[in-house]
A and B are shown apart, each in its own frame.
Chain A
Amino acid sequence: MTDANTQNQLNKDLAEMLKGGVIMDVTTPEQARIAETAGAAAVMALERVPADIRAEGGVARMSDPAMIKSIQAAVSIPVMAKVRIGHFVEAQILEALSIDYIDESEVLTPADDQNHIDKHAFRVPFVCGARNLGEALRRIGEGASMIRTKGEAGTGDVIEAVRHMRTMTDGIRRVQAASPMELMAIAKEYGAPFDLIKYVHENGKLPVVNFAAGGIATPADAALMMQLGSDGIFVGSGIFKSGDPAKRAKAIVEAVTYYDDPEKLASVSEDLGEAMVGIHVSDIPAEERLAQRGW
C-alpha cells in the first residue's frame, strides 16, 4: 500500500491533471455523458444542483451511493462527490465507492459547526472551498489536495467568486511581500498553519491547485475567473439549469482553454440560449449564504 505522504502527493498530482479544465455538476448518468462529450475534465455527482438545494430547502446530504455508482459506470473521466462539512462517515462511504475526489462542501448542510474532516485520515483526495488565504491554508493543513474559491453556489451571480479569488490573490501577495519576521503574526491573523504561510512566502502561490466555483454561468464568467488566476472552473447549476446544456457546456470548456482570446470567446458565446435564471447575491440574507459555512 502507498504510504500517506506519497498518496497525498499523488492526490495533488491528480488535481494538476484537471487544470485548464471544467468540472461539471451532474445529477444523472445522461447528464454525465453530456458533460463528458462536451469535454468536461471531471464530473461532480449529486442529487440536486445548488440552485435546487437553495430553492427547495431542507437538509442537503451526501448523494445516494447507487446514484454515484451509476455515474461512475457511465463515464471514464474522474467522478467527484460531495460530503457535508465535518461528516467523516459520509467521506468513508465515498472512499469505499473508490470515488476519485471528495468535495467537503458548504453547499450541503454542515454536520459539524466547529471542525472540518481530518482529511489526512483518508487515501482519496479532497477538494475544499475557501473565501480567503487563511481558510484555504487551514483546509490544506487538514489534508485537502485541491482548493476552490467558494463563490455563492446556485445563484448564477459571479460577484462572490470574483471577490474570493481577488481576496485570495491579495493574501498571497501580502504574504509574499512580508519580511520573514512578520510571518508568524500573519499566520496568527489569518488563522493559518505557520509552515504553509512560509510556503506561500517562498513560492508566491498555494501549494495545491486552485479552481473557481460558485455563480459561474457563462463562457465569459469562466474566462473572467481564468484571467483572475484560477487553474480551472467548477460549474454547478450553470449548465443543466440553462436552456441548451450540451451547447453551453461545450462553450464553457472552450472558454477555459481560450480564456485570453476575445475573438474566440465571442464566437463560443453566440446563440447559447437562455442562461440559468440568476439570483442577486445581495438579495440573499447573510445567514442564508452558503459561503459563510466553513470554519
Chain B
Amino acid sequence: MTIGVLALQGAFREHIAHLASLGEEPRRVRTADNLTGLDGIILPGGESTAMARLLLDTGLLQPLHDAIVDGLPVWGTCAGLILLAKDIIGDGAIVGSHTAAKDAVSHSAPPARLALMDITVRRNAYGRQLGSFSTSALVPAVSDAPIKMVFIRAPYIESAGPSVDILARVDGRIVAAREGHMLATSFHPELTDDLAFHRYFAHLCHARTSAARSA
C-alpha cells in the first residue's frame, strides 16, 4: 500500500522509516499531485503554525481536505492532530513550564486547519519544553503490550464528540482517538521502536482500500 507522509516540515522521515519497515510503500507529500493514488496519509509532528502556513501558501490545504472528506484514511501525530481538530483552545503562549495553558484568545493559533475531526484540542497543553515527558500506557485497540508514548510540547484532546472513539488516556487526558477513518495521537510513535500504531494505521488503510475495491 502507498501511504503518504506530509513532508512540509517536522519529523516526517521517522514516519517514512517506520512505514518502510512494515513493508508499506511510503511517499513524501509536498504537492497536490502527490495525493493521487494514496491509500492513507500521515500528518507528522513539527510546528503546527509552520505546517499550516505552508499548507495554505502552497495550495495543498483544500485538496488534502477534500481527499480526507472523500474517505482517505488520515493519522495526525501531535502537530498533525492540531491540524485535524475542529476546535482549538488554549493560548499557545505559555510562560511557566507546568502551568496549564490559559483559555484566552488564541492569538497565535495556526492560520488554517483541516478542521475535520470532532475534537477540541488544547495546544501546548503541558507547557514549554521543560513539560515534555515520556510514559507508557495500554492502548487495547492497538496492542496487547503497553505502548511507549513520547510527548514533546504536546497537545491533548480536551473533549470529543459522540462519533469519536477514545483510544487512550494518560493522567485522565485523552491522548489518542479515532473517528472513522481519522486517527489522532498527541504523542509520537515514530520516535520509538514500537511499530504497533503504524501497523494499526496500515490496517485501517488496508480495510478502506479493500472496501473501496469491492464496492
Binding site for B on A (CB under 8 A): 2, 6, 9-11, 13-14, 16-21, 33, 36-42, 69, 72-78, 95, 98-101, 123-125, 250, 253-254, 256-258, 261
Subset of 23 A-B contacts with CB under 8 Å: A6-B134, A9-B134, A10-B134, A10-B152, A11-B129, A17-B152, A21-B10, A21-B50, A39-B49, A74-B93, A75-B92, A75-B108, A76-B49, A77-B47, A77-B108, A78-B153, A98-B130, A99-B128, A100-B128, A250-B53, A253-B50, A254-B58, A257-B54
Contacts of A33 in B (CB 8 A): 108
| Sample of 15 more A-B contacts, CB < 8 Å, known A39-B9, A76-B124, A77-B92 | A10-B134, A16-B191, A17-B46, A19-B46, A20-B9, A41-B46, A41-B50, A76-B91, A76-B93, A76-B123, A78-B153, A100-B153, A254-B57, A257-B7, A257-B54
In Å, the complex CA distance between A72 and B9 comes to 22
B129–A14 contact, CB under 8 A?
yes
In Å, the complex CA distance between A21 and B50 comes to 8
Contacts of A253 in B (CB 8 A): 50, 53-54
B2 within 8 A of A: no
A40–B50 contact, CB under 8 A?
yes
In Å, the complex CA distance between A33 and B50 comes to 12
Contacts of A74 in B (CB 8 A): 93, 108
B127–A17 contact, CB under 8 A?
no
A19–B49 contact, CB under 8 A?
no
Q: A16-B14, A41-B50, A98-B130 are in contact. Are A21 and B9 (CB under 8 A)?
A: yes
Pick from B9, B111, B134: contact of A19, CB below 8 A.
B9
Q: A75-B92, A98-B95, A253-B54 are in contact. Are A36 and B153 (CB under 8 A)?
A: no
Contacts of B30 in A (CB 8 A): 257-258, 261
A75–B93 contact, CB under 8 A?
yes
Q: A13-B152, A21-B46 are in contact. Are A254 and B54 (CB under 8 A)?
A: yes
Cβ < 8 Å to A, chain B residues 110-139: 111, 123-124, 127-130, 132-134
In Å, the complex CA distance between A100 and B56 comes to 27
A36–B108 contact, CB under 8 A?
yes
Q: A13-B188, A14-B152, A254-B58 are in contact. Are A39 and B130 (CB under 8 A)?
A: no
- Closest residue on chain A to residue B45 by CB atoms: A17
Q: How large is the interface on B (under 10, 10 to 19, 20 to 34, 35 or more residues)?
A: 35 or more
B150 within 8 A of A: yes
Cβ < 8 Å to A, chain B residues 178-199: 188, 191
B86 within 8 A of A: no
Total contacts A-B at CB 8 Å: 134
B175: min CB distance to chain A, Å: 16
Pick from A21, A95, A256: contact of B47, CB below 8 A.
A21
Contacts of A254 in B (CB 8 A): 54, 57-58
- Closest residue on chain A to residue B108 by CB atoms: A76
In Å, the complex CA distance between A41 and B110 comes to 12
Contacts of A250 in B (CB 8 A): 53, 57
B152: min CB distance to chain A, Å: 5
Cβ < 8 Å to A, chain B residues 77-96: 78-79, 91-96
B147 within 8 A of A: no
Q: A17-B47, A20-B9, A254-B58 are in contact. Are A98 and B128 (CB under 8 A)?
A: yes
A17–B10 contact, CB under 8 A?
yes
Contacts of B209 in A (CB 8 A): none
In Å, the complex CA distance between A137 and B207 comes to 46
B46–A72 contact, CB under 8 A?
no
Contacts of A9 in B (CB 8 A): 134
Q: A36-B108, A38-B53 are in contact. Are A78 and B93 (CB under 8 A)?
A: no
In Å, the complex CA distance between A120 and B191 comes to 22
In Å, the complex CA distance between A269 and B124 comes to 33
Contacts of B58 in A (CB 8 A): 254, 257
In Å, the complex CA distance between A16 and B12 comes to 9
Contacts of B111 in A (CB 8 A): 37
B8–A257 contact, CB under 8 A?
yes
In Å, the complex CA distance between A33 and B30 comes to 25
A18–B93 contact, CB under 8 A?
no
Q: A76-B108, A257-B9 are in contact. Are A13 and B191 (CB under 8 A)?
A: yes
B4: min CB distance to chain A, Å: 15
Q: A14-B152, A20-B7, A36-B108 are in contact. Are A98 and B97 (CB under 8 A)?
A: yes
A14–B13 contact, CB under 8 A?
no
Contacts of B177 in A (CB 8 A): none
